[in-house]
Amino acid sequence: MIIVLKPEVTDSQLKHLVSKIKSLGLKPMISKGIERTIIGVIGEEDILRSTPLDVFPGVEKVMSILAPYKLVSREFKHENSVVHIGKVKLGGKKIVMMAGPCSIESREMLISIARSVKRAGASVLRGGAFKPRTSPYSFQGLGEEGLKYLKEAGQKTGLPVITEIMDIRDIPLVEKYADILQIGARNMQNFNLLKEVGMSKKPVLLKRGISSTIVELLMSAEYILSNGNFNVILCERGIRTFEDQTRFTLDLSAVPVLKKLTHLPVVIDPSHAVGKWGYVPSMAKAAIASGCDGLIVEVHPKPEEAFSDGAQSLVPDNFEKMMRELKAVSKAVGRDI
């Protein structure tokens, strides 16, 4: 950590600060420059991070040198992590396609979608049983009934299933039915929920909050790993900006940035990001070209009758067509799908 002092800092302020640093068991190194004096502090940066040195009189600013995350970092583990979901491996050469409806609406519908996405090449079935909805008056999901349909559809097709968990109290229930626990964007900083899924043995897909930085996403993943669960998949699903032609702005640069900073696999959700099905295939292709490890997309046989997010769902025919295009792009970047 580097502490930059104000030009008008007094000797007694400098002494006060230095003695504080020493009292924390750290070693201060002072360099007097032409315009500023700076103190480099050697030792555990975490001790400093929790000490608000910037309020000391005479301090202009405090700058961190080390990243605040550890277990998720490339420094901690150099090679890419591969998350195993039954027989599916996420994080290897093969790009994993997760597809299905936003909400689970009925048993028949779900089984039918599962069959068509499987046929087109998906390896994981998605479907929401508990839905976070902005309005209390919107459809909130089928709950356990939905989970049962999801498990059944998964078994009938041989696809592992992923579903969102919103509430700590539902963990045992969701664990019983799902192969991957999804933490939605709104819960990315629901730290107690993160701790609890950190104690689960199921893989966790963690979505980036709509206004969370990449570092905050990594810090939230750190909550899960530090509780013992290393099977974490990161998911970029669009951030909030001023642009209103799309529902959110898909931040695809997050892919190479995450690949540099962390060993965890990265999945892209183009459907929620753009919010209109017509833009999904372009962004799915771009995501693969950028280097992601998987995609999660919404497919619905009759989007005009969907209980939620119909506008962003592909019909099965379009999904199949998109899968053919994704195959070509995957191959071009040295991947399979």
What residues numbered 169-188 form the site for its own copies, per CB under 8 A?
A: 169, 186-187
How big is the CA angle at 241 (ends 240 and 243), to the nearest 5 degrees? Answer: 125
- Give me Rg for the CA atoms of the chain: 23
Smaller CB separation from its own copies, 67 or 111: 67
Angle at which helices 280-290 and 254-261 pack, to 10 degrees?
30
Regarding 304 and contact with its own copies (CB under 8 A), the answer is yes
Q: Is 336 in the site for its own copies (CB under 8 A)?
A: no
Q: Which CB, 157 or 308, lies closer to its own copies? A: 308
Residues 145-174 that bind its own copies (CB under 8 A): 166-169
In the shown chain, the binding pattern of residues 44 to 83 toward its own copies, with x for contact by CB under 8 A and - for none, equals: -xx--xxxxxxxx------x-xx-xx-----x--------
DSSP annotation of 305 reads G
Alpha carbons 136 and 68: distance in angstroms, whole number: 37
When the beta carbons of 156 and 189 are compared against its own copies, the nearer one is: 189
> Least distance (Å) from its own copies to the CB of residue 159?
25
The answer to whether the CB of 264 falls within 8 A of the CB of 294 is no
Contact status, residue 198 vs residue 228, Cβ threshold 8 Å: yes
Which CB, 111 or 286, lies closer to its own copies? 286
User: How many CA within 13 A on the CB side of residue 6?
Assistant: 13
Residue of 11, 25, 35, 87 that binds its own copies (CB under 8 A) = 35
Q: How far is the CB of 16 from its own copies (least distance, A)?
A: 9
Of 279, 296, 298, 299, which lies in the binding site for its own copies, with binding defined by CB under 8 A? 279
How does DSSP assign 103-137, residue by residue? B---HHHHHHHHHHHHHHT-SEEE-BSS---SSTT
CB 37 within 8 A of CB 66: no
Question: What is the pattern of x (binds its own copies, CB under 8 A) and - over residues 224-263?
Answer: --xx-----------xxxxxxxx--xxxxxxxxx-xxx--
Contact call for residue 23 and its own copies (CB under 8 A): no
Put residue 25 in one of left, alpha, beta given phi > 0 → left and psi -120 to 50 → alpha: left
- Region binding its own copies by CB under 8 A among candidate stretches 93-101, 144-152, 153-161, 223-231: 223-231
- Which residues in the 93-152 window bind its own copies by CB under 8 A? 132-139
- Provide the β-strand partners of residue 84: 89
